[in-house]
Every structure is written in C-alpha cells, then in structure tokens.
Amino acid sequence: MQQIEELKQEINAYEADGADGAEAFRIKYLGTKGIVKNIMGEMKNVPNDQKKAFGLLVNEFKQVAETKYETLKAAAGSDETSASNIDLSLPGTPVTVGSRHPLSLVRNQIVTIFKRLGFAVAEGPEIEDDWHNFGAMNLPEDHPARDMQDTFYINQNPAWLLRTHTSSVQARIMEKQKPPIRVICPGRVYRNETISARAHCFFHQVEGLYVDEHVSFADLKQTLYFFVQEMFGKDVKVRFRPSYFPFTEPSAEMDISCLICGGDGCAVCKHTGWVEILGSGMVHPKVLENFGIDSNKYTGFAFGMGVERITQLKYQVNDLRLYSQNDVRFLKQFTGAV
C-alpha cells in the first residue's frame, strides 16, 4: 500500500514529451507487463481480510494512471499530425484533377447554344421498339437500316433494339405534346459497325426538332447558320447540299468551310475546302401525321449531328476509338476545358 502511494505521486509528477512520451508512459504503467498489471498480480499474496481494501486501492491507482495517460495523449496531439510536427514549408501532396470528357464538353456547348434559341432538352431510352426508332420515322419495313447487319436487336426480344438515332426521343415527345415543339435530344446511339478509326458500334448525336405553324426552310438555314457561327466562330462559311432522308423532305446536308485550311484545301477537307457537319430537312408530312399533327397546318424542321464529328473538327481528334479507350494521355489533354 505504501508502494502504491509512492507510485501515485510518481505518476502525478510524470512529464512526457509528445506522442512518444505518452506511449512510453502507457507501456510502463498500463501495458500488459506494466506496473498496474503487476500490482494486481499481488492480490494473491494479500491476506483475505485485507483483499477488499487492497482491491479498492488498486482500482483507484489504475484510474489515476489511465487519467494521466489521457492527459498526456491530449497534450501531445491525438496523432502524428499534431501542429508541432508538420513542416509547413514543404510542398503539398498534388491532387490529380480530372477533366471533362471531350464529348461531354462538346455536347454541352451544342446544348447551350440551342437552349439560348429556346430549345428544350429531352432524353429517352437507349433500348427502343421498332415503331419509335423506325416506323414512326417513315422507314419502310424493308429499309436496309433495319437489317441485322446495321442494327443491334435484343436477343431475348427482337421487338426491341438499341436505338440507331435519337429521333426516337423526338417521336416520344410528339406522342405526348402538341405543337409548338422546339426540342433538342442529345444521347448515345448504336449501329452494328466494325470498329475502326472512322466507325464505331456506338456514337453520340444531338438531334433537333422544331414544329409550329409557318416554320420554313429559311428558319432551318438561319438556325443552323447561327449554331455554326457560335460553335466555330463568325468567319465560318456554310453551304447546303441536297440530300435524302426518309424522315425529312426536302433534305439537306450542311458543310462548313474547312477550319484547318480556311477553305484553301487540305487533307482534312480532302482538298475541297468544305467539311460535312450535319444533316437536316423539313419534317416529312407523313412523320407529322404519324403523331396526329395536321401537316397542312403545321410544318417543322429537323436536324441531326454526330458529337464525335464536331469534336473531331474542333479538337482534331483523328481516331474515333480514342473516345472510348479511357487512355488518360488522351483525356488529360482536356484538363481545364469547360
């Protein structure tokens, strides 16, 4: 008992330096081979009539040691990073900053431009039925795009397929909504293609649709002209070439003057001075009628563009596979772009 009293005083007077000192105290007094355990082991040598008093004393002693240890630990800081042992002059640990995917960047730019013109943004399912993807779009039963060679059908239920364009989203809008309709539909589409630098089994589109009274081909031209000027700069020139799509009549493809050579002719524009960027046209009356929209009262224009194509022109990406290989050497070139 005398010894315990002395040890208590020793503990009260104990001074420790930092976390190491606190740990040394713990080992000395509270460790498995420490003084507290040692004294507890003495219980067997204590006469029976004094065991109770001895027990109380030992417990109190243990508490004194534990309290002291907590105090020493708190004073040292709870772990290794106490303010005293951080060297504030060292450079910080670098945090690798991610970047937006180039396709997301360009899709956002396209969407922002059309939103300013009053277009709403809509999304829809990637697994579609034949009607929304083909039938409603005026693609006949025997159209080659419906072929297994061109379209991915779902094995378990061939009535379902992976959408080949985002027109199916506009179809779903027209089902629910009366004109005026002014919407753009960004999204991923799938085609059964052999993967190469110039083709992939999936890519991304932004399609647009504007249906109202008195919508004309002039509206189409001005809208798309405004879009390319915002996207590529005021100096860009455009030209429309007649084309054919089952869902538009008349149809036109739009070219812009080559951004690389300014129209003089280079490898990118195959020495024509022009590069194709999108397809467009006046919505086919049959497509409007498919949704109960009176084609005598309403007209509309539609367009579609590949986001990969626009990104290729904007950032000179020359291999489609780069977009989905997740190679950080490619992706980190877009750090900081917004």
In the complex, which residues of this chain contact ligand 2U9 (CB under 6 A)? 165, 167, 170-171, 174, 205, 207, 209, 245, 247-248, 278-281, 283, 287, 302-306
CA distances (Å), 301 to each of 16, 116, 163, 196, 264, in order?
A: 82, 18, 21, 33, 32
In the complex, minimum distance from the CB of residue 149 to ligand 2U9, in angstroms, rounded to a whole number: 17
Please give the order of strands across the beta sheet that includes 238-245: 120-121, 181-190, 202-212, 299-306, 274-283, 248-257, 238-245
In the complex, minimum distance from the CB of residue 151 to ligand 2U9, in angstroms, rounded to a whole number: 14
Which residue lies nearest ligand 2U9, judged by its C-beta?
A: 279
Whether residue 76 contacts residue 15, with contact meaning beta carbons closer than 8 Å, is answered with: no
In the complex, minimum distance from the CB of residue 224 to ligand 2U9, in angstroms, rounded to a whole number: 11
With residues binned 3-state (H G I as helix, E B as strand, rest as coil), the percentages for the chain, rounded to 5, are 45, 20, 35
The C-alpha atoms of residue 111 and residue 318 are separated, in whole angstroms, by 23
Whether residue 58 contacts residue 121, with contact meaning beta carbons closer than 8 Å, is answered with: no
Given the complex with ligand 2U9, which of 36 and 189 has the nearer CB atom? 189
Joined together, the tokens standing for residue 49 give: 């009539």
Q: Are strands 160-162 and 127-129 parallel, antiparallel or unpaired?
A: antiparallel
Given the complex with ligand 2U9, which of 128 and 207 has the nearer CB atom? 207
In the complex, minimum distance from the CB of residue 211 to ligand 2U9, in angstroms, rounded to a whole number: 8
In the complex, minimum distance from the CB of residue 128 to ligand 2U9, in angstroms, rounded to a whole number: 13
Whether residue 220 contacts residue 156, with contact meaning beta carbons closer than 8 Å, is answered with: no
In the complex, minimum distance from the CB of residue 85 to ligand 2U9, in angstroms, rounded to a whole number: 59
Given the complex with ligand 2U9, which of 14 and 152 has the nearer CB atom? 152
Q: Which residues does 55 contact at the CB level (< 8 Å), separation at least 6?
A: 43
Given the complex with ligand 2U9, which of 73 and 309 has the nearer CB atom? 309
Given the complex with ligand 2U9, which of 16 and 174 has the nearer CB atom? 174
46 Cα distance to chain centroid: 72
Given the complex with ligand 2U9, which of 241 and 270 has the nearer CB atom? 241
